[in-house]
Amino acid sequence: MASNPPSECCFTGFQHEGTPTGEIKKIDHIDTYFASPKDGKPDQAIIIVSDIFGIYPNSQLIADNFAANGWLTVIPDMFQGIPITDDEYNSGVDIMARLSSHRPKADGIVEKVIKHLRETLGIKKIGGVGYCYGGKYVVRFLKDGNLDAGYIAHPAHIMDEELAAITGPLSIAAAETDSKFPAPLRQKSESILVKTGVPYQIYLFGGVRHGFAARGDLGVPNIRFAKEQAFSQAVAWFGHYL
């Protein structure tokens, strides 16, 4: 496995301050957050596949920031209004069984959103952003005709064969302390990416933990800096490859 399955660290974090400025619309009955740029790139868009918290203020604010950089950015509701909660995790529910049973729906959601962007909105190039759980689906869809470029931060539950199958450029933001993506799996992922022959990068951020790029404590200067740098990493990547 290129990254480990979700566990306790995936259910913790801090809600960030700010008021989202986008709006919720429907894509084929899927609630989707839309963040629209004022002066954007008319033929480019970004899909954010969120962590297990789904559409919530942190992911919405990140989408707003991508829109401020010129990209129409959308966040589909991967959990259909019922995200996995820390209470559910702590109750002893088999989270992996639930995620596995949800995968066909999750794949279908991403497929429908990509189709809507390309066929209805006329988008030519699409970037995929995935945090934690969402990283798996960016990797799964980083193939010709789906996503054109990918960025994932502190990814979870990506299988070796999924990573080996990508055909587009991939950027990874990794945390120094991360049981989902520890040093041995980072190194393993690098060896897999080398064999794909596609452009890739792996940035390692010291002094931070799993979740730092989406739900870290921004009151801690080092975490805030790492979060902002990880976002800049994504902006630079899409600026070059979209």
- Mean pLDDT across 138-159: 95
Whether the full predicted model's pTM is greater than 0.75, yes or no, is: yes
Pairing mode of beta strands 44-49, 72-76: parallel
Q: In this structure, is residue 39 part of a structural domain?
A: yes
Q: In this structure, is residue 95 part of a structural domain?
A: yes
Nearest to 8 by CA among 211, 147, 219, 202: 211
CATH number of the domain where residue 159 is located: 3.40.50.1820
Write out pLDDT tens, residues 66-112.
999 999 999 999 887 555 555 555 555 555 665 665 655 889 999 99
Write out pLDDT tens, residues 12-46.
666 778 899 999 999 999 999 999 998 878 899 99
Q: In this structure, is residue 3 part of a structural domain?
A: no
| CA–CA gap between residue 15 and residue 62 (Å, rounded) | 12
Inter-residue contact 114 to 146 (CB < 8 Å): yes
| Structural domain boundaries, residue 157 | 8-241
Q: In this structure, is residue 2 part of a structural domain?
A: no
Which active-site residues does the annotation give?
Answer: 132, 178, 210
pLDDT category of residue 51 using cuts at 50, 70 and 90: confident
Q: In this structure, is residue 1 part of a structural domain?
A: no
Name the domain count of the chain.
1
Q: In this structure, is residue 155 part of a structural domain?
A: yes
The mean pLDDT value of the chain amounts to: 89
Q: In this structure, is residue 68 part of a structural domain?
A: yes
Write out pLDDT tens, residues 195-234.
999 999 999 999 999 999 998 999 999 999 999 999 999 9
Q: In this structure, is residue 237 part of a structural domain?
A: yes
